[in-house]
Amino acid sequence: MPLLDAATIAKLAGVKVRARAVMEGVLSGLHKSPHQGQSVEFSEHKEYAPGDELRHLDWKAYAKFDRFYVKRFEHETDLRAVLVVDASGSMGYRSAALSKLEVATTLAGALSYLLVRQQDAAGLSVLSGGRFADVPPRAAAGHLMTLLSTLEAVVPAGPTNLPAAADHLAEGLPRRAMVVLFSDLFDETPDALRRILQLRSRKHDVAVFQILDPAELEFPFDDPTLFLSMEDERRLEVNAREIRESYLEELGAFLAQTRALCAEMDVDYQLVRTDDSLDAALLQFLAKRQGRRR
């Protein structure tokens, strides 16, 4: 059940507000969810029962909820998450309320909230105009504002270059980390996605949010149209109605191939439409991860 729809999120100005709203939606969803207690890397809370070790009591939770919870923290102790946001020119496309980049930054911000709230280390890597803006992973509460400020400053530019991002991450992540990629994956370099997914072979945990606009998925154009590339000088004048079916076939094949590759590389994959409810998308992602963990 969508908690906050995209149109409502779009009315909120700035990544910080949007991300918080989405995060709260997620938390609200978590409380309502049958998978209560699950999170990214979450160590679940268990209500205290006689016999549990007292040293594992979560005093903060006790302070907050006035109940005793035992915290299971064997998986979270050294979690380092790097949120990779593709800010190429194509991510600036919008036909709905939010552009793909706005959706990517909002999702990344909400996830940052969740991570930092759990005292996990969250970092950021933004690819824009062929350059990387990195924020190293930290678990401090004040680090969240750094992450959100960085996300807020992102503007779409330049081509999508997933292999470069893969190389950059491989160099910058000496330890095992969780890599979450927000991108439309529109990179025409052969094996671009495979390159970034190969981080998985370096023991990194990889998850992909493929963010696409409804117009990209449905191609609702009828008239003769001059299509312009958002990353380079390519252009094509064509009667959109005539190529619609062929376009949808091509795109369908691309999405199927992407899904298949992620499944093959054991990577979590989530397709997000920019008109989707973002908290629902995030919840779905978290549920999927929890399912994998079990």
Which stretches of the chain bind another protein, using CB under 8 A? Answer: 89-93, 100, 184, 186, 188, 213, 215-216, 221, 223-230, 234-239, 242-247, 249-251, 254
Task: Name which of 21 and 85 has its Cβ closer to another protein.
Answer: 85
The minimum distance between CB 38 and another protein, in angstroms, equals 34
The minimum distance between CB 41 and another protein, in angstroms, equals 32
Task: Name which of 77 and 189 has its Cβ closer to another protein.
Answer: 189
Measured distance CA(28)–CA(113) in Å, rounded? 14
Torsion over CA: 135, 16, 276, 241 (sign):
negative
Task: Name which of 47 and 249 has its Cβ closer to another protein.
Answer: 249
Measured distance CA(112)–CA(85) in Å, rounded? 12
Task: Name which of 41 and 216 has its Cβ closer to another protein.
Answer: 216
The minimum distance between CB 249 and another protein, in angstroms, equals 8
Task: Name which of 2 and 92 has its Cβ closer to another protein.
Answer: 92
Task: Name which of 135 and 185 has its Cβ closer to another protein.
Answer: 185
| Beta-strand pair 205-212/268-273 | parallel
Displacement of CA 132 from its chain's centroid (Å): 17
Task: Name which of 39 and 88 has its Cβ closer to another protein.
Answer: 88
The minimum distance between CB 227 and another protein, in angstroms, equals 5
Residue carrying the six token digits 């969240």: 144
Q: Which residues contact 138 (CB under 8 A, 6 or more apart)?
A: 121, 122, 123
The minimum distance between CB 224 and another protein, in angstroms, equals 4
The minimum distance between CB 289 and another protein, in angstroms, equals 28
Phi-psi region of 93 (alpha: psi -120 to 50; beta: other; left: phi over 0): beta
Q: Which residues contact 273 (CB under 8 A, 6 or more apart)?
A: 96, 212, 213, 214, 217
The minimum distance between CB 4 and another protein, in angstroms, equals 25
Residue 153, Cβ neighbours under 10 Å: how many? 13
Write out the DSSP string of 117-155.
Answer: HTT-EEEEEEEETTEEEEEEEE--TTHHHHHHHHHHT--
User: How is residue 254 written in tokens?
Assistant: 């691309």
Measured distance CA(52)–CA(164) in Å, rounded? 48
